[in-house]
Amino acid sequence: MKLKNFLKKAICSVPIVVVRSILLLCIYLSLGLVARAATQQRKITVSGIVTDSSGEPVIGASITEKGTSNGTISDVKGHFGISVSSTAILQISFIGYRTEEVTASPAKTSLKVILTLIPQHYYKIFFLST
């Protein structure tokens, strides 16, 4: 009985402004957690093979998630695997070849990327003599 009376007095003595503030803070924090969970993107694992136009594997091709430092390289058979966000754009590049961009999605986790050579007339070699 004494405890019940104590709690009534304690609760009633707290100004209504404090109770409202605490309630609003709890609501704000819970909404923030829900919003954060909704904006976090799911990670997927994308794997595939990188070849040139003749079907030969491209060893050491760079596969990166656009706009991040997340990346990997293809192995000796041209295979790669990378964990990215579910809406990531993958950039696949190698020296002398055009860079390809592929959009990853949960429905598209296995890729075959064919890199094409850049025509030689784009290359310019300068020799400097001293």
> What is the model's pLDDT at position 89?
94
Length of the chain: 130
Q: Distance (Å, rounded) from C-alpha 98 to C-alpha 60? A: 15
pLDDT in tens, 72-95: 999 999 999 999 998 899 999 999
Neighbours of 42 (CB within 10 A): 8
pLDDT in tens, 14-67: 566 666 666 666 677 666 655 555 445 689 999 999 999 999 999 999 999 999
Residues 5-21 have a mean pLDDT of: 62
> What is the model's pLDDT at position 108?
86
CB contact at 8 A, 49 and 82:
no
